[in-house]
Amino acid sequence: MGMAASQARLLSITARMTDNEHSGQAVSYAKIRLADQTEEVNKEYLNALKATKLTVLTGFNGADEVYTDISYALMTGCNTVANNLHYMVTDKKGAALVTKTLADAFEKGNGDFNIFLAELGYTQSHIQVSAYSTDPIDIPAQEKAYQEVHEAWDRYLTSVGLHINVDEEHGLDFGFHYFAQTDANGDVIYDGNGDPIPDTTPFNGYCTYTYTDPNTGIDTTFPLNYDGTTQEQRELYDYAVSLTATYYRTPVQPDPMMALESTANPDNISIVNYYKQIFQKMASSGYYTEDNPANTINDNKWFEQQLKDGKLLLEIYSAVERKFVSTSIDSDQAIQEVTDERELALIDQEYKMKLEKLEAKDNKYDLELRKLDTEHKALQQEYQVLKGVVDKNVQDSFKTFSA
């Protein structure tokens, strides 16, 4: 091989060796980064092993307590938590987080509990007879119901300092607005059962009473508006309106023929009280709904994390204070934080998959390093041979020119 060709070949091998060394360094650096990634995965796995979930006491199986994964519906439902407490979920400012159904009912009621309740399909009235029934069997119950209507109004009037004895001597006579269909003469139209046919006009929530002055005989009609200032007075007023509306079959919502679930059924008493407490909370503290499709009260994981992060808070109704008071996931005995076995199984599976991918990359890098090392040794050998040839050619050239 000529001297020039040998030198060219030597330079080529030198360049290949340099490239080989750079490639080896790159693979070595990649293995170091891979080691860092493996360490990070191990740290994530160890932290994930601490995964817990919130569960709520929902009943008993014999003497054993039964816990269910926490959810918004579970925490805010009627008698869904086994400690028989009523929970509300609020933001940090105390505003109640409610469903759209509750928000719509509240807005339609515009501050009227009876309308709010009716929109949800219930009434707080227990009266089941009508003032317009002509069935002799109904007469005793009708008279009793009539008396209860008067007593309800008397309790309210007494509470606001407007007590008037309900008897003939004092000339007090109740007359109530009733929206019914009338004929051309203004007379109420009755159906085949002798009941007035309701008008589609909703009940406006107001009743009246007529007072006859025993001295002059002059009648004066007064509206039975709400004149109270306390929660108790408001409840007495709403209850009296509810009884009146039921007794006179006065519609309390746009569909006057809709049958409302009455508290005459004992099973409905707790649900009506449940809605009353919600209504009072919404009225006193404000409310909002969670409309973001990605983060809603129907997403149990989101709800749980919001509680853990303190972005949502819990309150329980106090029968003593007659309002909702604060509680927490740490102090509430019906809530416990436990190891999430299902989550741990998923974490373990994901950890193994990540390790397998990292090990596959590591094996690939080892194979590349072995190939580069083999190539580097071969190049070194060839480099030494060529270097010897070039050195000999140089020596021979010096001898030739020095002769």
| Side-chain-side CA neighbours of residue 113 (13 Å) | 26
Mean pLDDT in order along the chain per 10 residues (403 residues): 62 74 76 76 63 86 89 94 93 94 92 91 87 70 84 86 52 49 74 69 56 75 81 92 78 57 92 96 93 75 90 94 92 83 68 76 78 76 69 61 54
- Domain membership flag for residue 66: no
Please give the angle made by the CA atoms of 86, 88 and 90, to the nearest 5 degrees: 165
The span from the CA of 388 to the CA of 403, in Å, is 23
Sheet hosting strand 323-327, strand order edge to edge: 287-288, 96-97, 87-90, 313-318, 323-327
The span from the CA of 27 to the CA of 376, in Å, is 14
At residue 153, the pLDDT reads 85
157 and 244 belong to one structural domain: yes
242 and 128 belong to one structural domain: yes
Q: What residue type is assigned to position 364 of the chain?
A: K
The span from the CA of 250 to the CA of 246, in Å, is 6
- Domain membership flag for residue 316: no
139 and 249 belong to one structural domain: yes
Residue 22's H or E segment, with its range, is helix 3-48
- Domain membership flag for residue 295: no
128 and 47 belong to one structural domain: no
CA 315 and chain centroid, separation: 14
- Domain membership flag for residue 148: yes
28 and 131 belong to one structural domain: no
Cβ 179 vs Cβ 196: under 8 Å:
no
253 and 359 belong to one structural domain: no
Q: What residue type is assigned to position 71 of the chain?
A: S
User: Can you list the positions of beta strands (E) in 62-120?
Assistant: 64-69, 87-90, 96-97
**Among the three residues 225, 259, 293, which one is the final residue of a domain in this structure?**
259
- Domain membership flag for residue 76: no
Backbone angle region of 79, left / alpha / beta, with phi > 0 → left and psi within -120 to 50 → alpha = left
- Domain membership flag for residue 104: no
Please give the angle made by the CA atoms of 105, 228 and 110, to the nearest 5 degrees: 20
What tokens were used for 187? 């007379």
The count of other CB atoms within 10 Å of the CB of residue 351 is 17
For 340-346, the CB contacts below 8 A with 24+ separation are: 340/51, 340/52, 340/53, 343/51, 343/53, 344/48, 344/49, 344/51
370 and 245 belong to one structural domain: no
- Domain membership flag for residue 306: no
Identify which of 25, 36, 27, 29 has the alpha carbon closest to the alpha carbon of residue 358: 36
| Bridge partners of residue 56, in order along the sequence | 68, 335
**Among the three residues 194, 224, 259, which one is the final residue of a domain in this structure?**
259
- Domain membership flag for residue 308: no
At residue 233, the pLDDT reads 94
The span from the CA of 162 to the CA of 158, in Å, is 5
The span from the CA of 306 to the CA of 299, in Å, is 11
- From the number of C-beta atoms within 10 Å of its C-beta (0-12, 13-18, 19+), residue 323 rates as middle
Q: What residue type is assigned to position 188 of the chain?
A: V
Tell me the C-alpha to C-alpha distance, in Å, between residue 180 and each of 204, 224, 256, 302.
13, 20, 10, 50
Spatial CB neighbours of 44, under 8 Å, sequence gap ≥ 6: 351
Number of separate domains in the chain: 2
What tokens were used for 178? 């009733």
What residue numbers bound the domain in which 38 lies?
A: 3-51+341-402
**Among the three residues 236, 259, 282, which one is the final residue of a domain in this structure?**
259
- From the number of C-beta atoms within 10 Å of its C-beta (0-12, 13-18, 19+), residue 211 rates as middle
pTM score over 0.85: no
